[in-house]
Structures are given as C-alpha cells and as structure tokens.
A and B are shown apart, each in its own frame.
Chain A
Amino acid sequence: MVVDRIPSGTRDVLPDEMRELRAMTDRIRAVFDRAGYGEVYTPALEYERTFASDRAGRGWLATPPAYRVFDEQGNVLVLRSDMTIPIARLVANRYQHSELPLRFSYLAHAYRSVRPQRGQSREFLQAGVELIGSPSPEGTAEVLGVLCAALDSAGLQSYRVGLGDAALYPSLLEQLGIGEEIRERILRELVDGDFVGVEREVAALSLAGDDAELLLRVPQTRGGPEVLEGLAGPLHDAGSGMRTVHAMLAREVAARIIFDLGLVRSLGYYTGAVFQVYDPAHGLPIGSGGRYDELLGLFGRPLPAVGFALNVERLHIALTGEERGRPRAQT
C-alpha cells in the first residue's frame, strides 16, 4: 500500500491526545486570562525583514525562520520561528499610544528547522505571555508568577524554574578586559554546554589565577539563594538584581526558583533576567523566557519587556511522565 507521508517533524493529533491537550491548554488560557493577559493571534506568515537577524541585537537569532515562500509580488515571507518577535511588531504597529503596561498571551504554533532523525518538531505549539512596558524587577516578578500559575494549573508538580541573567557572563568577560572575538568564542562554548571548551579558551588567556577561576566557576554556579551571597565586583549588580526579583515573588513561586549564574540563552534579544523551566520527568527544558528590553526599540517603540513561552508538547510529556511516576521520558 502506498502511504501518503507527512513531513518529518510534523504529526497528526488524534482525539484522545487532542482531548488531553485541550484540557491542559484551556486551564493555562484561563490563568493567562485571569492575570489580565489578553490573547492575541498573529499571522503564521510574516515578511522576512521582520525576522531579520540584525533585529536580534548581537545577530544571534538562535532559531531563525526556516521556511520561506514567495508571495505573488515576489516578496519573501517566512513562517514565524517564535511569537515574541511578531508581538513586538504588533505592539509597535498597533499600540503606539496605548497606556502601559500591555499584557498579551498566545497559544500558537511556531516553526523551526530540525536536524535529521532527531525527532524534533518543525511545528510546535507554544503557550506564553508578553508583558510590555513594565521594567525589572516588578515585570519580571509578575511574569514568573504567571508562569508558575500556568504550570500549576496544568497539574505539573515537580518543576523548578532556573533564573539567571543574560548580561552577567558577557559583562564579566568584558570587565576582565577580554577582547570581543574571544568573548564571543567563550560564550559560544557556554551556549553549547562545552565546559571543557570554556576551560581551554580561558587557559589560553593567561589571566590572573583568581580571574580564571572565577570565569570557570561562575557558569557552573547554580542552587539556592546561597549562591548569590558574596558576589562581588562585576557580579554584584546581577546578583542583587536576582535577589530583588526573588524577594518580590510569592512564597510558593520563590520556592520553585533555582539561581543559575551560568544560564545563557542563545536567543540574542535577551538583555537581563532569563529563565528556563525544568522538570525531572523530561530531559529537556519545557519552557523558557526572559527580559528583552531592547527588542521593542528595534521596531520603533523602545519599551522594556519580559515574557515566556511553554512548549505545550513537552509539558504534556512531562505531565504524563509525572503521572506514571516513572523517572524519565524522551521527547
């Protein structure tokens, strides 16, 4: 029999799964709604220039759009690779004079390229919020609260939220007087999770012993509030920033936080606090977010902003894993 296949990395959802997904997303949607985050939908197709990588500041758009088509006039359109950029565009276009802050939520698909035979999704459903016009620390604390409320409503129990600062390690490198080219190299090793590579790059710099030790220790520093104690010099500001956010969180939210000085996100538009959701029932983060205080400016409306996106499919896998009480499940 000839089977009409579907592209790798895409899939059909049948009623049993759909019912579970729908129940979960309905609860998450209700949380967003109660918190005042109005749901928006933007087109899956955008002009290519909206996603141009120079918008991402350092030009590190980790997940650039993978799919391009031409329209009737020969313009290049892309399938969106995330929802943050379309919402930044939407705010700049349609909310030029609105009172701040603005709160938006979405449950929408994004599209990314996949590596062959890795079981990755080309099309995946994200549930997230964006809070625009609310600076740190208030905005960050609010969004972390919404994030945990959404996960709680979905029924996830053992999750933790890693909280770091995207500017921490880059500014540490800068303050130690390390040149830009080597800075980028070290950051790339860190984004790749190659600590042996970081060690090799740092060793080649012939820094003073203390400085070298600091550069190796900081990316591996994660844990409770005790890791923020005694952060001096270049790390002091980031440390007190995280402490301030933490102090503003409700107790049950604060209890979920793991401070992570090594959390560097590969999305170039993050500027301050960054976070990632972990659950013992899944080997990969099930959601992430952070502050992007410069992105809106690139669309002509400079505003501080913060948001997160949950990967609905991974959340579902983690939930199922927790229910079964067995240790782990693959993506």
Chain B
Amino acid sequence: MSDLRIAVPRGALFDETLTLLSRLDIDVAEVRTNDRKLLFEDAGLVTMRPSDVPTYVESGVADIGITGKDVLMEQSEREVYELIDLGYGRCRMVLATAAGEDRAAETLRRLGVVRIATKYPRVAARHFEQTGRQAEIVEVRGSVELAPITGLAEGIVDLTATGTTLRENGLVVREEIAECTARLIANPVSHKLKAAAIDALLERLK
C-alpha cells in the first residue's frame, strides 16, 4: 500500500498483528503460511522476535513496527516514537511469589534484599527502586516460574495474560506493575520523511 517497511512481531502478537495489517489492505497471505521466511519484500513486511522490533525500527531499516509495551518499557532508551496504543495483546506486568505467606516480604524484612527472577531486568529494577526496596535482579531467559519454585529467587517479575501459568506453578500476583498492550512505533526520521504514508496508515487505524 505504500513504501513503508513494517516490523512484525512473531509470537503472541503475531495473529492479531496480521489481522490488523490485512485490514489495512496489506497482503499477509504469504506471511501467514511461510514461517521460515523473514523478509517479505513485496508486502513491505519483516518478521522478528517482538524484542527485536525496537532495534530494527530505531536503526531505520524498518520505518514502523508493532511490539508490546513490555518490550518498550524494558528498552526505554530506544529512540523511537510510540504512536498509538493498538489495544490488543493486553496483559499485565506483575510481581508474583509463591502462594501462602509472602516469602519476598519476609526476606526483605529479615535480609534486606529480595531476589527477583525476570526476563525484564530493567523494569524489575526500576519497580523496586521506585518503591524503595532493595532487590537483587536475576536475569533468566525462559520459564521464569521455575525460579521461585526451586529457590533461585523469592519472586518474579513477569508478563501474564490470564494468570494460568502462574497458578499452575503455585504462584500468586502480589503487585501489578503495568498494563501492557501492543503499540505502533516509528523511526523518528521516517516519521518526518514519510509523513504522508505514516499518517494515512494512522488515519485508517483510528
């Protein structure tokens, strides 16, 4: 529809993002069926992990992109414009610990520092700083729920949509840090040089 190159997140936001793009008359048929290909030159789409979207958009190789607010919070130093809240992919960034008596609170009281496992080290560190508590942030790459069960950490900071995974692993939400949805982001230079194309797209999204 235009000469914009769009960074599309694979993973949880993938399906709804493709639905959104097809509503904008972008041909996503090949993207839907070919999950090995990454660059779809004709459609102007490039697919990647959600956490890589800000990287590609900031550098300008993609003009705009779609990613979760959780990713943007974690990479808050990226020089990208956050244009609109797309509303889908809604989930919560939470602090969770094992059910029953709050081990994290007890550890904080008696040892002064609590260990928190997370895939979002900067979000977690900021949350504890802002609430005046000391935390040792343990960065893990997957299955964060394992950390409190095994004793690696007293709590986790993670994203949850339905809370099912937390419950199944015997964890309960203690604090809500933020609500996250999918966001449309833009490269600042593209936002100026391709203003008409980006505005036309925004107009259709409203």
A130 contacts B by Cβ under 8 Å: no
**A222–B189 CB distance below 8 A:** no
**In the bound complex, how far is the Cα of B191 from the Cα of A260, in angstroms?**
11
Q: Which stretch in B57-65, B113-121, B145-153, B157-165 binds the other chain?
A: B57-65
Chain B residue nearest to A321 in the complex (CB): B60
In chain A, residues 266-289, which have Cβ atoms closer than 8 Å to a Cβ of chain B? 276, 278-280, 282-285
**In the bound complex, how far is the Cα of B199 from the Cα of A116, in angstroms?**
34
**A194–B189 CB distance below 8 A:** no
Encode contact with A along B3-46: 1 for CB under 8 Å, 0 otherwise. 00100000000000000000000000000000000000000000
**B79–A260 CB distance below 8 A:** no
**In the bound complex, how far is the Cα of B189 from the Cα of A328, in angstroms?**
11
B80 contacts A by Cβ under 8 Å: yes
Encode contact with B along A122-134: 1 for CB under 8 Å, 0 otherwise. 0000000000000
**A193–B81 CB distance below 8 A:** yes
Contacting residues, chain B, for A223 (C-beta < 8 A): 195-196
* Cross-interface CB contact of B192 among A197, A199, A258, A331, cutoff 8 Å: A258
Q: How many residues of chain A have a CB within 8 Å of chain B?
A: 27
B85 contacts A by Cβ under 8 Å: yes
A220 contacts B by Cβ under 8 Å: yes
**In the bound complex, how far is the Cα of B199 from the Cα of A197, in angstroms?**
18
Q: How far is the CB of B68 from chain A (nearest CB, A)?
A: 13
**In the bound complex, how far is the Cα of B59 from the Cα of A315, in angstroms?**
15
Encode contact with A along B76-104: 1 for CB under 8 Å, 0 otherwise. 01011111110000000000000000000
**In the bound complex, how far is the Cα of B72 from the Cα of A45, in angstroms?**
37
**A283–B183 CB distance below 8 A:** no
Contacting residues, chain B, for A279 (C-beta < 8 A): 189
**A193–B80 CB distance below 8 A:** yes
A118 contacts B by Cβ under 8 Å: yes
* Cross-interface CB contact of B81 among A162, A195, A282, A331, cutoff 8 Å: A195
B47 contacts A by Cβ under 8 Å: no
**B77–A118 CB distance below 8 A:** yes
Contacting residues, chain A, for B170 (C-beta < 8 A): none
A188 contacts B by Cβ under 8 Å: no
**B82–A197 CB distance below 8 A:** yes
**In the bound complex, how far is the Cα of B189 from the Cα of A283, in angstroms?**
6
Contacting residues, chain A, for B67 (C-beta < 8 A): none
Give the interface residue-count category, chain B: 20 to 34
A68 contacts B by Cβ under 8 Å: no
**In the bound complex, how far is the Cα of B56 from the Cα of A12, in angstroms?**
27
Most chain-B CB neighbours within 10 Å: which of A199, A220, A328, A330?
A: A328
Encode contact with B along A307-331: 1 for CB under 8 Å, 0 otherwise. 0000000000000000000011011
**A285–B188 CB distance below 8 A:** yes
A301 contacts B by Cβ under 8 Å: no
Contacting residues, chain B, for A285 (C-beta < 8 A): 188-189
**In the bound complex, how far is the Cα of B183 from the Cα of A220, in angstroms?**
17
Q: How far is the CB of A293 from chain B (nearest CB, A)?
A: 25
**A196–B60 CB distance below 8 A:** no
**B192–A162 CB distance below 8 A:** yes
B200 contacts A by Cβ under 8 Å: no
Chain B residue nearest to A158 in the complex (CB): B193
Contacting residues, chain A, for B85 (C-beta < 8 A): 196, 199
A251 contacts B by Cβ under 8 Å: no
**In the bound complex, how far is the Cα of B193 from the Cα of A162, in angstroms?**
9
Chain A residue nearest to B69 in the complex (CB): A196
**B187–A283 CB distance below 8 A:** yes
* Cross-interface CB contact of B61 among A196, A197, A283, cutoff 8 Å: A283
**In the bound complex, how far is the Cα of B58 from the Cα of A261, in angstroms?**
22
A160 contacts B by Cβ under 8 Å: yes
**B59–A196 CB distance below 8 A:** no
In chain B, residues 180-206, which have Cβ atoms closer than 8 Å to a Cβ of chain A? 183, 187-193, 195-196, 199
**B60–A195 CB distance below 8 A:** no
Q: How far is the CB of B24 from chain A (nearest CB, A)?
A: 18
**A222–B192 CB distance below 8 A:** yes
Contacting residues, chain A, for B195 (C-beta < 8 A): 222-223, 258
A115 contacts B by Cβ under 8 Å: yes
Q: How far is the CB of A97 from chain B (nearest CB, A)?
A: 42
Most chain-A CB neighbours within 10 Å: which of B80, B187, B195, B199?
A: B195
A-B contact pairs, 11 of them (CB 8 A): A118-B77, A193-B81, A195-B83, A199-B85, A222-B191, A222-B192, A258-B195, A260-B192, A283-B187, A284-B60, A328-B60
CB-based closest 10 A-B pairs: A283-B60, A193-B81, A330-B59, A328-B60, A283-B59, A194-B82, A278-B189, A328-B61, A196-B85, A196-B82
| Interface positions of B (Cβ within 8 A of A) | 5, 58-61, 77, 79-85, 183, 187-193, 195-196, 199
